[in-house]
């Protein structure tokens, strides 16, 4: 379906907060909160698994400026989860604010509240702790049914049945089968059985975790936090602190990046606890080291892929098993793992006769994992796409052609994706477009550049989702003011993604006004309508549809108010071109007149609030191609070109969509070539700063080019699907493919460092 010409949609308009950011105005948490807050700091365990035998805080409490020090003896004993997820909560309740049993190196042992940072830091250093050090489980491959239990406690609770058991170190497990996998596999000409390993990458957002808390004039807990999930933070704090949800208000200012890290409540509970205890404002700001060693990184996963195909390259069967490392706590463990199969296998719906997808998620005594852009799909797509590329190379078939033979096409039912219909799928067009733009036929062959350097190319395709179907809720309130402009209230969190702007564009399109006539407010649990929050690539698709519905409802209300002004029936009124017109007459009523009437002798509100949920989650699609130059002597990989074509339905704001894609690609490049997470013997991450944890810069990304292929998603607002997460998924397999082309070696563990390349015997030397 071709999209119509819009006035505000599919236009690159300036972001709502652009000037505030460019001019350095106070917009972030630390900028806007008062400076009289108590400083909160945390003492963290050096041990991966230990029981606190004794803790002496006397010397710490005597430090001038220290208000109090809290230990496991001071906190509620009701367990909760930090996971920012919608009901029914899939993640287990396995946390305490401070637990006597510390479960990873970095786990919290004590909370210090002081008048200033110097006093707080001094107090932390003076706390004396005696530990009963226990043997940890550090290797996730040995965790399941290990005699050492990460969570031996009896009050561990699983709110949802997801196949978990704390007595087996299992957070979750599941089996999915479609068709007779074993018999199809036995009948295949070629069977590839490969295992892939992806590390626990850190989000490395510029703004670390931080939260300010105070008591408002009604004695309610007021929380200002850098978070993606204001409503879920309210629930988490209610559970952790044992106070009613109506006594908690959570709001977010501008967020300095999240990428999923802030879909968990990493920092909020500590200053909230201090404020409840002292009655005073409190503020915590994680150091970069704390964010690196006690944040919420991507889940480390090992994915085993068995692929069965015939000699022509037809992929007949896929069998995946994913082992996921949730770390010391179960946040997002049951949900991330599902995407490793459900967002990789369906891409080959065009040829698959059968598939199997089983998984286990385990506890270990390492930093707890959480949400990260791509949310498990990134790991699964790396494994499946690399295996498909290996099949293509083995059969001497161009990798673009093998995908054309097997890929999902529009109109197909996807059994591996909950039997959803691919109602809007331009994946084949993305491949064709990218191949031409990239000049694949010219760049794919290996070219000797002299001096031990070669150039070649690799490719991959990807899919994601648009919200969690039948679960997530997006909401919007649209209000008409008395001067004829509009207010949009949302509960979704703009964290640099531009959702404030694109949702305002939707209001402008619906109400036939300028984007400048739409002011946006969010997100605040007291004022915003309920929204699941900014994650799962849901905001454009889900909250956007709520905006569209709220505007339609508001038009009906405005027609009724306009009818009262003209003294006629509302059925005679119609909204068109930013006015209300009486049918078959020249009589019109302006938005300004309706706005004024709404406030004078009126019983009808000029506002509408709508919640929306979807029974489907239409996937966006992407094809990425990379050209590299590889130095066979040093193993250095230099990216020359990275080109991608994305199908996100109709892009609401193409400039913002392109920036999303470029940012995701660069993150994927970082995961593949340089970002590394290694633990010392105690399980503590060695890469605790940006000196050791290397993230890509502008110099590492080569020449990036992103374009779009439009499809029209009938269940989305103005035909839109999501864009936020799909974009991180192709660099891993595309780069692994290019590195194989250059060296003859398949690397199945990320990152692929120069050392690994240089030290692995190349078949092309």
Give the single-character DSSP code of 176.
E
The residues pairing with 367 across neighbouring beta strands, listed in sequence order, are none
Residue keyed to tokens 């739409």: 518
Do the beta carbons of residue 127 and residue 60 sit within 8 Å?
A: yes
Token pair of 105 as six digits: 């190196």
CA atoms lying within 13 Å on the CB side of residue 316: 19
Do the beta carbons of residue 622 and residue 647 sit within 8 Å?
A: yes
Do the beta carbons of residue 191 and residue 185 sit within 8 Å?
A: yes
Q: Where are the alpha helices (DSSP H) in 250-317?
A: 269-278, 288-293
Token pair of 559 as six digits: 């027609």
CA distances from 94 to 107, 230, 325, 333, 408 (A): 13, 21, 16, 12, 40
Contacts of residues 136-139 at CB distance under 8 Å and 24 or more positions apart, as own/partner, are 136/47, 136/48, 136/49, 136/364, 136/365, 136/682, 136/683, 137/49, 137/169, 137/363, 137/364, 137/365, 138/48, 138/364, 138/365, 138/366, 138/679, 138/683, 139/364
Give the single-character DSSP code of 632.
T
Residue 3 has pLDDT above 60, yes or no: no
Token pair of 296 as six digits: 């919420």
Q: How far apart are CA 573 and CA 608, in angstroms?
A: 18
Residue 765 has pLDDT above 60, yes or no: no
Token pair of 464 as six digits: 């994601």
Q: Mean pLDDT over residues 461-482, rounded?
A: 96
Collapsing DSSP to helix, strand or coil, 62 comes out as: coil
The residues pairing with 41 across neighbouring beta strands, listed in sequence order, are 112
- The model's pLDDT over 357-368, given as tens digits with 9 standing for 90+, comes to 999 999 999 999
The residues pairing with 283 across neighbouring beta strands, listed in sequence order, are 39, 212
- The model's pLDDT over 11-29, given as tens digits with 9 standing for 90+, comes to 999 999 999 989 999 999 9
Token pair of 301 as six digits: 């996963």
Q: How far apart are CA 375 and CA 472, in angstroms?
A: 16
Cα of 353 vs its chain's centroid, Å: 32
Q: How far apart are CA 664 and CA 647, in angstroms?
A: 15
Residue 347 has pLDDT above 60, yes or no: yes
Residue closest to 381 by CA, chosen among 722, 91, 619? 619
- The model's pLDDT over 608-644, given as tens digits with 9 standing for 90+, comes to 999 999 999 999 999 999 999 999 999 999 999 999 9
Strands in 497-572 per DSSP E: 518-521
Residue closest to 741 by CA, chosen among 730, 733, 753? 733
Residue keyed to tokens 């969570």: 151
Residue closest to 303 by CA, chosen among 264, 345, 331, 335? 345
Residue keyed to tokens 């480390």: 300
Prior bond of 523 cis (ω within 30°): yes
Collapsing DSSP to helix, strand or coil, 55 comes out as: strand
- The model's pLDDT over 698-754, given as tens digits with 9 standing for 90+, comes to 999 999 999 999 999 999 999 999 999 999 999 999 999 999 999 999 999 999 999
Angle at which helices 377-395 and 731-743 cross, to 10°: 30
Band (496; pLDDT cuts 50, 70, 90): confident
Break the chain down into helix, strand, coil percent, rounded to 5. 30, 25, 45
| pLDDT, the chain, mean | 96
According to the model, what pLDDT value does residue 310 have?
A: 97
Strands 101-102 and 50-56: antiparallel
According to the model, what pLDDT value does residue 708 have?
A: 98
| Ordered DSSP codes for 371-403 | --TTTTHHHHHHHHHHHHHHHHHHHT--HHHHH
- The model's pLDDT over 221-256, given as tens digits with 9 standing for 90+, comes to 999 999 999 999 999 999 999 999 999 999 999 999
According to the model, what pLDDT value does residue 746 have?
A: 98
Do the beta carbons of residue 717 and residue 508 sit within 8 Å?
A: no
Q: How far apart are CA 740 and CA 752, in angstroms?
A: 11
Residue 764 has pLDDT above 60, yes or no: no
Handedness of CA 150, 156, 160, 161 (dihedral sign): positive
Q: Mean pLDDT over residues 397-415, rounded?
A: 98
CA distances from 483 to 479, 480, 488, 566 (A): 12, 8, 15, 19
Residue 335 has pLDDT above 70, yes or no: yes
pTM above threshold 0.75:
yes
Collapsing DSSP to helix, strand or coil, 282 comes out as: strand
According to the model, what pLDDT value does residue 533 have?
A: 86
CA atoms lying within 13 Å on the CB side of residue 403: 27
Residue 1 has pLDDT above 50, yes or no: no
Token pair of 109 as six digits: 């042992």
Give the percent of the chain with pLDDT over 70.
99
CA distances from 425 to 36, 200, 331, 412, 431 (A): 54, 31, 32, 9, 12
Q: How many CB atoms lie within 10 A of CB 496?
A: 21
Token pair of 741 as six digits: 């082309």
Give the single-character DSSP code of 650.
S
Q: Mean pLDDT over residues 176-181, rounded?
A: 98
- The model's pLDDT over 563-602, given as tens digits with 9 standing for 90+, comes to 999 999 999 999 999 999 999 999 999 999 999 999 999 9
| Ordered DSSP codes for 197-262 | EE-------SS--EEEEEE-TTS-EEEEE--S-HHHHHHHHHHHHT--GGGEEEE--B-S--TTGG
Spatial CB neighbours of 88, under 8 Å, sequence gap ≥ 6 = 159, 160
Residue 546 has pLDDT above 70, yes or no: yes
Residue closest to 723 by CA, chosen among 662, 643, 673? 662
Domains of the chain with CATH codes:
18-25+468-612 (3.30.365.10), 33-136+203-293 (3.90.1170.50), 423-461+618-765 (3.30.365.10)
Strands 221-225 and 248-251: parallel
Q: How many CB atoms lie within 10 A of CB 41?
A: 23
Strands in 503-636 per DSSP E: 518-521, 573-576, 579-582, 588-590, 607-612, 621-631
CA distances from 161 to 82, 171, 174, 476, 686 (A): 18, 10, 10, 32, 35
Strands 221-225 and 210-215: antiparallel
What burial letters (b/e) apply to 134-150, b meaning 16+ CB within 10 Å? bebbbebeebbebebbb
Handedness of CA 222, 87, 172, 373 (dihedral sign): negative
Q: How far apart are the first and last CA of the chain?
A: 51
- The model's pLDDT over 663-711, given as tens digits with 9 standing for 90+, comes to 999 999 999 999 999 999 888 889 999 999 999 999 999 999 999 999 9
Q: How far apart are CA 530 and CA 524, in angstroms?
A: 9
State which H helix or E strand residue 459 sits in.
strand 453-463
- The model's pLDDT over 28-74, given as tens digits with 9 standing for 90+, comes to 999 999 999 999 999 999 999 999 999 999 999 999 999 999 999 99
Give the single-character DSSP code of 542.
I
Give the percent of the chain with pLDDT over 90.
95
Higher-scoring residue by pLDDT: 428, 533: 428
Residue closest to 719 by CA, chosen among 426, 408, 517? 426
Q: How far apart are CA 397 and CA 129, in angstroms?
A: 63
């Amino acid at each position: 379906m071709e999209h119509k010409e819009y006035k505000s949609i599919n236009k690159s308009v300036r972001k709502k907060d652009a000037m505030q950011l460019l001019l350095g105005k106070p917009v972030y948490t630390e900028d806007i909160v008062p400076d009289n807050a108590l400083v909160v700091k945390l003492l963290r365990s050096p041990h991966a698994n230990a029981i606190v035998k004794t803790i002496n805080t006397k010397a710490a409490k005597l430090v001038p400026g220290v208000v109090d020090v809290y230990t496991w003896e001071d906190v509620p004993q009701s367990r909760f989860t930090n996971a920012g997820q919608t009901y029914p909560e899939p993640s287990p309740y396995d946390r305490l604010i401070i637990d006597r049993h510390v479960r990873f190196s970095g786990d919290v042992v004590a909370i210090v509240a002081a008048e200033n940072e110097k006093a707080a830091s001094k107090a932390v250093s003076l706390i004396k702790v005696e530990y009963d050090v226990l043997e940890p489980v550090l290797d996730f491959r040995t965790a399941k049914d290990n005699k050492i239990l990460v969570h031996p406690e009896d009050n561990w609770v699983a709110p949802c049945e997801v196949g978990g058991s704390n007595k087996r170190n299992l957070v979750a497990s599941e089996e999915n089968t479609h068709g007779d996998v074993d018999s199809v596999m036995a009948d295949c000409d070629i069977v590839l059985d490969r295992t892939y390993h992806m590390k626990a990458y850190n989000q490395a957002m510029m703004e670390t975790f931080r939260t300010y808390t105070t008591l408002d004039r009604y004695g309610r807990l007021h929380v200002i936090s850098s978070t993606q999930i204001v409503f879920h933070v309210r629930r988490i704090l209610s559970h952790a602190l044992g106070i009613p949800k109506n006594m908690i208000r959570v709001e977010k200012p501008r967020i300095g990046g999240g990428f999923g890290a802030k879909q968990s409540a990493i920092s909020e509970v500590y200053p909230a606890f201090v404020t409840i205890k002292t009655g005073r404002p409190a503020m915590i700001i994680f150091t970069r080291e704390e964010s690196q060693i006690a944040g919420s990184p991507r889940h480390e996963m090992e994915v085993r892929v068995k692929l069965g195909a015939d000699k022509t390259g037809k992929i007949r069967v896929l069998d995946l098993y994913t082992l996921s490392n949730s770390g010391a706590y179960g946040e997002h463990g049951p949900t991330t793992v599902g995407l490793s199969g459900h967002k990789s296998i369906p891409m080959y719906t065009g040829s698959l006769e059968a598939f199997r997808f089983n998984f286990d998620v385990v506890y270990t005594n390492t930093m707890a994992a959480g949400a990260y852009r791509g949310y498990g799909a990134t790991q699964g797509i790396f494994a499946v796409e690399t295996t498909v590329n290996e099949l293509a190379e083995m059969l001497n078939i161009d990798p673009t052609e093998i995908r054309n033979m097997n890929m999902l096409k529009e109109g197909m039912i996807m059994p591996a994706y909950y039997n959803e219909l691919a109602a809007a799928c331009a994946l084949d067009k993305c491949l064709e477009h990218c191949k031409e733009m990239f000049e694949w036929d010219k760049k794919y062959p290996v070219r000797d550049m002299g001096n031990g350097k070669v150039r070649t190319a690799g490719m991959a395709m990807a899919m994601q989702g648009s919200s969690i179907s039948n679960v997530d809720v997006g909401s919007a309130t649209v209000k008409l003011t008395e001067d004829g402009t509009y207010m949009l209230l949302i509960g979704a969190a703009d964290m640099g993604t531009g959702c404030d702007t694109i949702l305002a564009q939707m209001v402008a399109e619906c109400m036939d006004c300028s984007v400048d006539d739409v002011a946006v407010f969010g997100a605040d649990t007291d004022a915003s309508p309920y929204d699941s929050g900014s994650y799962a690539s849901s905001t454009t698709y889900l909250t956007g549809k709520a905006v569209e519905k709220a505007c339609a409802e508001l038009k009906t209300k405005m027609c009724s108010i306009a009818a009262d002004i003209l003294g006629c029936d509302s059925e005679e009124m119609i909204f068109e071109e930013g006015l209300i017109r009486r049918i078959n007459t020249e009589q019109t009523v302006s938005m300004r007149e309706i706005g004024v009437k709404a406030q004078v002798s009126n019983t009808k509100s000029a506002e509408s609030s709508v919640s929306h949920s979807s029974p489907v989650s239409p996937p966006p699609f992407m094809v990425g191609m990379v050209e590299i130059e590889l130095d066979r002597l040093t193993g250095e990989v230099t990216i020359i070109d990275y080109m991608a074509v994305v199908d996100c339905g109709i892009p609401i704001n193409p400039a913002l969509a392109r920036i999303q894609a470029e940012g995701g690609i660069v993150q994927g490049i970082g995961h593949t070539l340089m970002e590394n997470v290694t633990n010392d013997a105690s399980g503590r991450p060695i890469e605790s700063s940006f000196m050791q944890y290397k993230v890509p810069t502008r110099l590492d990304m080569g020449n990036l080019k992103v374009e779009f292929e439009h499809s029209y998603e009938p269940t989305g607002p103005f035909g839109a699907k999501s864009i936020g997460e799909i974009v991180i998924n192709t660099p891993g397999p595309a780069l692994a493919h290019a590195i194989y082309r250059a060296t003859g070696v398949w690397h199945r563990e990320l990152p692929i460092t120069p050392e690994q390349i240089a030290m692995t015997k190349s078949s092309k030397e």
